[in-house]
Amino acid sequence: MKVLVTDPVADAGLDRLRDAGHEVETDYESEGDELLDAVTDANALIVRSGTEVTEAVFEAAPDLVIVGRAGIGVDNIDIDAATNHGVIVANAPDGNVRAAAEHTVAMTFAVARSIPQAHGRLVDGEWAKGEFLGTEVNNKTLAVVGLGRVGQEVAKRLDSLGTDLVVYDPYISEERAERLGAELVEDLHEALGRGDFATIHTPLLPETEGMVGEDELAQLEGGYLINCARGGIVDEEALAKAVDDGVLAGAALDSFAEEPLPADSPLLNVEEVVLTPHLGASTEAAQENVAVDTAEAVLAAFDDEPVLHSCSTAGSPRSRRPTRATSPRRTSTSSPRAR
Ligand code: NAD
Ligand code: MLT
């Protein structure tokens, strides 16, 4: 069977597929019509966040059995189209959780202590010791928005550093929050209003898109916003303005509505904003974990076995379409590519 890999994925996973006798082709450059050509004879497609897997991709790939997402977020994959085409979508929701949580903690300290800014001044030859007065997380309140896998790991780590925890997540039980010593509140504004730091850990869904805008940022007045979840949840223009105007003390972001972040993003011009290029899952361990988990999902799908972590309703062997040998109808995709 042929496995097409369109975003960089660790060799540990790709070797597992090769060892099982499958052909693995990597193509990290093709976009638009080239991507549609590349996927024509693929039986599996493996992606991270950089490939937009649109309806057109499913139409172009008649023999596709599974799309493996080597990571958590599946917002770059049209799940409804996958279901309609009988294609399984499986993510790897466990392997990069600790990496994402550690990056969030690192970003919290980076912005609270102006570490990138101070480093920049030092390498420019300036000993700006008197110009940076940071904020401790100790004895502060952390508002966690979304207490799922990553949110819980962030909460545990920052709790152990002396923060009080307030949580907004309408889909969890009070017990989950209590187990972490956190207070669950019913209103996003209340959580942000009580936080000195607020960290976002929801998926990007129609419900969460634009969830943190000007009004919400105003609730966090004087505090810091950290978003290592997904771009699009926070209104970037409103955030840049809030930090620039001094409504917020700072912000740290790892993910953006458009990736790579456009050169004209207002976030790039605000001194107290710390940015990383979607590095949350970029550790050796996390990349090996998600690559191996994704390879296992592909192998299970090829063997017509149940696939763990299936996100489309094509996840059970009985619901899958038979593979076809017909040529696909060509349509185009114009999604931007960012890895
Ligand atoms: P998860 O599904 O385990 O948890 C998400 C939580 O958000 C759930 O508890 C859910 O109830 C909650 N939620 C859903 N809608 C909500 C709403 N409207 N308001 C408040 N809470 C809501 O997901 P996860 O594995 O913890 O991942 C969290 C986010 O981090 C995702 O967006 C994921 O894509 C992202 N992520 C980013 C990186 C990175 O590299 N930056 C790495 C891993 C994960
Ligand atoms: C994820 O959702 O797992 C992240 O986007 C990590 C990634 O694949 O870069």
The ligand placed nearest to the CA atom of residue 186 is 1
Tell how far the Cα of 123 is from the centroid of ligand 2, in angstroms.
Answer: 31
For the cut 90, the answer to whether the pLDDT of residue 336 exceeds it is no
Q: Which residue has the higher pLDDT, 201 or 323?
A: 201
Q: Residues 11-17: what's their mean pLDDT?
A: 98
Q: Would you say domain 2-95+284-320 falls under CATH 2.60.40.4070?
A: no
Atom of ligand 1 nearest to the CA of 208: 18
For residues 261 and 277, is the Cβ–Cβ distance under 8 A?
Answer: yes
CA 152-157-160 angle, 5° bins: 120
Kindly state if the Cβ of 72 falls inside 6 Å of ligand 2.
yes
Q: Whose CA is nearest to atom 35 of ligand 1?
A: 229
How high is the pLDDT of residue 50? Answer: 95
Whether residue 260 has a cis bond before it, omega within 30° of 0: yes
Q: In what order do the strands lie in the sheet with 141-145?
A: 183-185, 164-168, 141-145, 197-200, 224-227, 250-253, 273-275
Query: Domain 97-275 sits in which CATH superfamily?
Result: NAD(P)-binding Rossmann-like Domain (3.40.50.720)
- For position 115, what pLDDT does the model report? 98
Q: Where in the chain is the domain with CATH 3.40.50.720?
A: 2-95+284-320, 97-275
Q: What's the whole-number mean pLDDT along residues 227-243?
A: 98
Instruction: State the closest ligand 2 atom to the C-alpha of 93, by its place in the atom list counted from 1.
Output: 3
* pLDDT confidence band for 337 (50 / 70 / 90): very low
Ligand nearest to the Cα of 255, by number: 1
125: its two tokens: 């030859």
3-state secondary structure of 224: strand
Q: With beta carbons less than 8 A apart as the criterion, state whether 222 and 229 touch.
A: no
Read off the pLDDT of residues 73-108 as tens digits, 9 standing for 90 and up: 999 999 999 999 999 999 999 999 999 999 999 999
State mean pLDDT over 171-178. 97
Residues in a beta bridge with 26: 5
Q: Is 139 exposed, middle or buried (0-12, 13-18, 19+ CB in 10 A)?
A: exposed
Residues in the chain: 339
Which residue among 169, 176, 179, 275 is best mutated to probe the pocket of ligand 1, counting the most ligand atoms within 8 A of its Cβ?
A: 169
Report yes or no: 243 and 221 within 8 Å, Cβ to Cβ: no
Residue 197 has pLDDT above 90, yes or no: yes
Asked if residue 222 lies in contact with residue 245, where contact means CB atoms within 8 angstroms, the answer is no
- Tokens encoding 34: 């080239």
- Given a cut of 50, is residue 327 above it in pLDDT? no
Q: What is the pLDDT of residues 239-294, one digit of tens each?
A: 999 999 999 999 999 999 999 999 999 999 999 999 999 999 999 999 999 999 99
pLDDT-derived band at 332 (thresholds 50, 70, 90) equals very low
Please give the distance, rounded to the nearest whole angstrom, from the Cα atom of residue 322 to the centre of ligand 1.
33
Ligand 1 pocket, residues with Cβ under 6 angstroms: 72-73, 93, 96-97, 100, 145-151, 168-172, 201-204, 207-208, 228-230, 254-255, 278, 280-281
Which ligand has the minimum distance to the alpha carbon of residue 72? 2
Q: How far is CA 83 from CA 20, 65, 79, in A?
A: 27, 11, 6
Q: What is the pLDDT of residue 317?
A: 52
Per-residue pLDDT, averaged over 310-316, amounts to: 76
pLDDT tier, 315 (very low <50, low <70, confident <90, very high otherwise): low
> Does residue 326 carry a pLDDT above 60?
no
In whole angstroms, what separates CA 56 from the centre of its chain? 23
Q: What is the mean pLDDT of residues 215-232?
A: 98
- Residue 328 has a pLDDT of 31
178-189: b (≥16 Cβ within 10 Å) or e: eebebbbbeebe
Kindly give the distance from the C-alpha atom of residue 130 to the centroid of ligand 2, in angstroms, as a whole number. Answer: 38
**Per-residue confidence at 314, pLDDT binned at 50, 70, 90?**
confident
Q: How far apart are CA 17 and CA 261, in angstroms?
A: 33
DSSP state of 24: E
* For the ranges 267-271, 322-326, 334-338, the one whose mean pLDDT is highest: 267-271
- Residues recognised as catalytic: 230, 259, 278
Q: Which listed ligand is nearest to 339 at the C-alpha?
A: 2
The alpha carbon of 133 and the centre of ligand 1 are apart by a number of angstroms equal to 32
Ligand 2 lined by 265 (C-beta under 6 Å): no
Q: Does ligand 2 lie within 6 Å of residue 231's CB atom?
A: no
pTM for the model stands at 0.93
Cα separation, 42 vs 87, whole angstroms: 12
CA 232 to chain centre: 11
Residue 310 CA, ligand 2 centroid: distance in Å: 16
Q: What is the pLDDT of residues 105-161, one digit of tens each?
A: 999 999 999 999 999 999 999 999 999 999 999 999 999 999 999 999 999 999 999
